[in-house]
Amino acid sequence: MLTEPEMSSAHLLTPASLKKRPMAVSSPSLGHHSGPRVYIETFGCQMNEYDTELLRALLKARGFQFTSEGNEADVVLFNTCAIRENAHNRLYGHLAEFKRAKQERGIVIGVLGCMAQNLKKDLLEERPFIDVLVGPDGYRRLPDLLTDALEYDKRGLAVDLSESETYDDVVPDRAEGINGWIAVMRGCDNFCSFCVVPYTRGRERSRDPKGILEEVRRLADQGVRQITLLGQNVNSFRYEQWDFAKLLVRVADIPGIQRVRFMSPHPKDFPPALIEAVAEHPHICRHIHLPLQSGNDRILERMGRCYTQLDYLKLVEVIQRKGAITLTTDIICGFCGETEDEFQDTLKVMHAVEFQAAYVFKYSERKHTIAARKYPDDVPDQIKGQRANQLVEWQKQMSLQKNRSLIGQTVEVMVEGHSKKSSSQWMGHNEANVTVVWDQSDEPSPVGALVPVLIDDASPSTLFGHLSS
């Protein structure tokens, strides 16, 4: 952080901005050792967390610094998600809070990511205190836009979508740890009718596998043991002769990497080679997250999901024929026009597949989507809630039953650290990504190691046990 005299000798700040901004401001491009302090809050999915790592790298290279305290920051950034209603509402709450800080301290406020892209007009018009709006393809422009906002009080906008931007040359600024997330593709061409991603993140494009493998090797050298490959439609990855199955295997072959996962795939892109890779490669977790969304053909057709209930169940059968591969899913309840009978079809599929876990959402209309244009959001909220509760309750019982079936068995767990609730317990995840907690013993549990845990007890979300000798 520059002191005031250093700052004023290095910069010509406008009198207005000096008056409005009591915090020291340096132009990061001038290579000072300290710069404006940035606080970033990230909403939504793992892809957004990864994008925040990219943003940190881009800002750090230009001399910005970071703080974990919003009330100490010169710049407050929100990396947003447009998928769920509650992420919207949380952002609006936080913006109201920092609007006051802006009035008092003259901070710069930026909204980044999917909401910036999708709601740019509304945000610009209705919230004039936002200084910078940057969509997912405009991150490279962020340092310049922030510098302009800090020094000249200039409002900045970067919301053009790109057909080629993959940030392949940006090394993410990640926190230390054994988990590494890597985006292998960006955007989506599927246009599911409820989903805003194709509009906020643009067309599908995949990264050069050379860059991805280099990133994995670097992470392995830094002690990362588990890699999760990310993409809005991760298994549609294509680059010259490479498909997703080939990439997955090559990542899993890298020395030091013990476990590889991927998120989120689409059921339409599961060629036999991909299922083989999951079933057979010792370092690829035998776990597939397979979003169902609905179990009814009319609703699936309205959603634009490109499969029927039967297609989905056939795929599940092919996967399950390969042995014990854990399945988890996403479901949307109360999509436009969903009747009780159509909802019951979803429940039937859940009964048939017996997922390990299901992430259940009530449908909420997103601006600019196909569904928002074509279908009325006509299922009453109370019915959506009842249906969601029914699925959640059923899934809880199923998860409990599955977890209890492991009592008395030994599972392999990757050690992640002390349990959040007690420093006398350790925690990690098994291959199916279920949280496992075990009591500390004389045997060490080094972080990143795979250890055998004998399961003694289970809840719907957690397995409890002790180290097996």
Query: Which two tokens mark 182?
Result: 């890597």
CB closer to ligand SF4, 347 vs 370: 370
Binding-site string for ligand SF4 from residue 243 to residue 282, where x marks contact by CB under 6 A and - marks none: -----------------------x----------------
Would you count residue 197 as binding ligand SF4 (CB under 6 A)?
yes
Q: What is the DSSP string of 53-92?
A: HHHHHHHHTTT-EE-S-GGG-SEEEEEE--SSHHHHHHHH
Which 8-state DSSP code applies to residue 11? -
Q: Which of 65, 80, 117, 233 binds ligand SF4 (CB under 6 A)?
A: 233
Q: In what order do the strands lie in the sheet with 326-333?
A: 287-289, 326-333, 357-362
The distance in angstroms from the start CA to the end CA of the chain is 52
Q: Which of 152, 191, 222, 271 binds ligand SF4 (CB under 6 A)?
A: 191
Place of tokens 């949307």: 332
What's the CA gap between 64 and 28, in Å, rounded? 6
Place of tokens 């009198």: 15
The CA distances from residue 58 to 62, 69, 206, 436, 446, in Å, are: 7, 20, 20, 36, 33
CB closer to ligand SF4, 307 vs 355: 307
What's the CA gap between 420 and 268, in Å, rounded? 38
Count of residues binding ligand SF4 (CB under 6 A)? 10
Give least dist CB 232 to ligand SF4, A.
4
Query: Which two tokens mark 352?
Result: 């048939």
Give least dist CB 193 to ligand SF4, A.
9
Would you count residue 55 as binding ligand SF4 (CB under 6 A)?
no
**Is residue 365 within 8 Å of residue 377, measured between CB atoms?**
yes
Would you count residue 387 as binding ligand SF4 (CB under 6 A)?
no
Binding-site string for ligand SF4 from residue 35 to residue 54, where x marks contact by CB under 6 A and - marks none: --------------------
Give least dist CB 310 to ligand SF4, A.
20
> Which residues ranging from 409 to 468 are in contact with ligand SF4 (CB under 6 A)?
none
Alpha carbon of residue 411 to chain centroid: 27
Query: Which two tokens mark 209?
Result: 């596998």
Quick one: which segment of 13-21, 104-112, 190-198, 247-255 binds ligand SF4 (CB under 6 A)? 190-198
CB closer to ligand SF4, 10 vs 370: 370
CB closer to ligand SF4, 266 vs 402: 266
Nearest partner of 96 among 131, 61, 129, 145, judged by Cα:
129
Give least dist CB 52 to ligand SF4, A.
19
Quick one: which segment of 129-137, 178-186, 192-200, 279-287 binds ligand SF4 (CB under 6 A)? 192-200
Place of tokens 């940190």: 56
Quick one: which segment of 147-155, 183-191, 252-260, 446-454 binds ligand SF4 (CB under 6 A)? 183-191
Q: Which of 63, 113, 143, 198 binds ligand SF4 (CB under 6 A)?
A: 198
Would you count residue 192 as binding ligand SF4 (CB under 6 A)?
yes
In 3-state terms, what secondary structure has residue 307?
coil
Q: What is the dihedral of CA 70, 71, 72, 73, to 10 degrees?
A: 50
Question: How crowded is residue 272: how many other Cβ atoms within 10 Å of its Cβ?
Answer: 10
Residues 187, 131, 196: CA angle, nearest 5 degrees: 25
Q: Which of 188, 229, 300, 358 binds ligand SF4 (CB under 6 A)?
A: 188
Residues 328, 308, 378: CA angle, nearest 5 degrees: 85
Give least dist CB 197 to ligand SF4, A.
4
CB closer to ligand SF4, 261 vs 266: 266
Quick one: which segment of 87-95, 157-165, 186-194, 214-222 binds ligand SF4 (CB under 6 A)? 186-194
What's the one-letter identity of residue 310?
A: L
Would you count residue 195 as binding ligand SF4 (CB under 6 A)?
yes
Give least dist CB 295 to ligand SF4, A.
16
> What residues line the site for ligand SF4 (CB under 6 A)?
188, 190-192, 195, 197-198, 232-233, 266
